[in-house]
Amino acid sequence: MENYRPITKATADKFLQLLKTKGPQSAAMLAAALGITGEGARLQLLKLAEEGLVVSATSSRGVGRPVQIWDLTPLGHAHFPDTHVELTLQLIETIRRELGEAALEKVVAAREFQQQEKYINALTGITGLAERLAQFATIRSSEGYLAEWKEEEDGFVFIENHCPICCAATQCANICESELKTFRTIMGEEVDVKRVDHIIAGNRRCVYKITRIKELITSR
C-alpha cells in the first residue's frame, strides 16, 4: 500500500522542498500538494522526524481540534545546497594569510568562549552528570551533531555521529582542540573527558569518554 511504503530519497526531497519553500505545513496541506493521503503524509513525516529532518508543534486555530504543524529542523535546512562551507574555509584562509596564525587562534578562542557561555547558561541548574549529558546531547543535536549518550560500567560515553564543522576543523586543527576544551569546561572539574574516536582522524564519529575523577583514581 502507498501509505506504508518506506520513504525514498525522492519522496523525502519533495517533503523537504515544500517545507523549505512554503514554510511550516500540516500533514493535510502537504498531502494535498503531493497528491497523497493524509495518513501517508503523516507516516512519511514521522520517518523524517526520526531522521531529525523535521519537527512538529501543535497549533490551535480557533474552534476545533489542534493541528500538528511541521517544519524543518536545522539539519533539515542543511539538506539544501549552502555555500557557507566554502565561505568559512575562505575566511579561515584569509585570516591566516592576511593577519597571521596568531590572529586565527584569537578568533578560535573567542568562538570557544562564546560556545562555553552559551552551553553553561543552557545547563544552569542541572547538576547530575547524566542529566547534563542528556541536555547537552539535545543542544548539540539541534546544532547538527546528531549527538547521543549512554552510561557504561566505568562512566559515560558521549557520541556525535555527525560534525557540521568538519571542513573548518580540517582546515584549522585548533577548532577541534577548542571543542574538547569546551566539553571539559561544561562537564566540570569532577570528571575526566577524553576523545577516543575522532572524525578528523578517520573515525566514523567523534566519541568522548567521561569518567568521574574519584572513580578514575579508585581504579588505579
Please indicate, yes or no, whether residues 168 and 200 belong to a single structural domain of this protein: yes
Last residue of a domain, one of 77, 107, 140: 77
Please indicate, yes or no, whether residues 13 and 49 belong to a single structural domain of this protein: yes
Extract the runs of DSSP E, i.e. beta strands, from 36-130. Answer: 54-59, 67-72
Please indicate, yes or no, whether residues 193 and 107 belong to a single structural domain of this protein: yes
**Residue 3: is its pLDDT beyond 70?**
no
Position 127 confidence tier, pLDDT thresholds 50, 70, 90: confident
Last residue of a domain, one of 77, 92, 110: 77
Contact 127, 205 (CB under 8 A): no
How many angstroms separate the CA atoms of 188 and 45, rounded? 39
Residues 156-184: b if buried by 16+ CB within 10 A, e if exposed: bbbbbebbbbeebbebbebbbebbeebbb
Average pLDDT, the chain: 87
Per-residue pLDDT tens over the stretch 166-205: 888 888 989 999 999 999 999 988 899 999 999 889 888 8
Please indicate, yes or no, whether residues 116 and 92 belong to a single structural domain of this protein: yes
Q: Which pLDDT does position 164 carry in this prediction?
A: 85
How many angstroms separate the CA atoms of 20 and 41, rounded? 16
The residue segments making up the domain with residue 115 are 84-218
CATH number of the domain residue 196 falls in: 3.30.1380
Please indicate, yes or no, whether residues 93 and 185 belong to a single structural domain of this protein: yes
Please indicate, yes or no, whether residues 98 and 187 belong to a single structural domain of this protein: yes
Q: Which pLDDT does position 83 carry in this prediction?
A: 60
**Residue 81: is its pLDDT beyond 80?**
no
**Helix (H/G/I), strand (E/B), else coil: 60:** coil
Please indicate, yes or no, whether residues 108 and 192 belong to a single structural domain of this protein: yes
Per-residue pLDDT tens over the stretch 8-39: 678 888 999 899 888 899 999 999 999 999 99
Q: Which of 47, 55, 78 is nearest to 166 (CA)?
A: 78
**Residue 102: is its pLDDT beyond 80?**
yes
Please indicate, yes or no, whether residues 69 and 95 belong to a single structural domain of this protein: no
Higher pLDDT, 74 or 199: 199
Please indicate, yes or no, whether residues 67 and 88 belong to a single structural domain of this protein: no
Task: Tell me the three-class secondary structure of 154-178, residue by residue.
Answer: CEEEEEECCCCCHHHHHHCCHHHHH
Last residue of a domain, one of 29, 48, 77: 77
Tell me the β-bridge partners of 88: none
Q: What are the backbone angles phi and psi of residue 47, rounded to the nearest 5°?
A: -65, -45
CATH number of the domain residue 39 falls in: 1.10.10.10
Q: Report the domain count for the chain.
A: 2
Please indicate, yes or no, whether residues 116 and 190 belong to a single structural domain of this protein: yes
- Helices then strands, each counted (H, E), the chain: 10, 7
Under DSSP, the state recorded for 195 is E
How many angstroms separate the CA atoms of 82 and 72, rounded? 15
How many angstroms separate the CA atoms of 179 and 69, rounded? 35
Please indicate, yes or no, whether residues 204 and 163 belong to a single structural domain of this protein: yes
Please indicate, yes or no, whether residues 60 and 135 belong to a single structural domain of this protein: no
Q: Which residue's entry shows cell 520517518?
A: 47
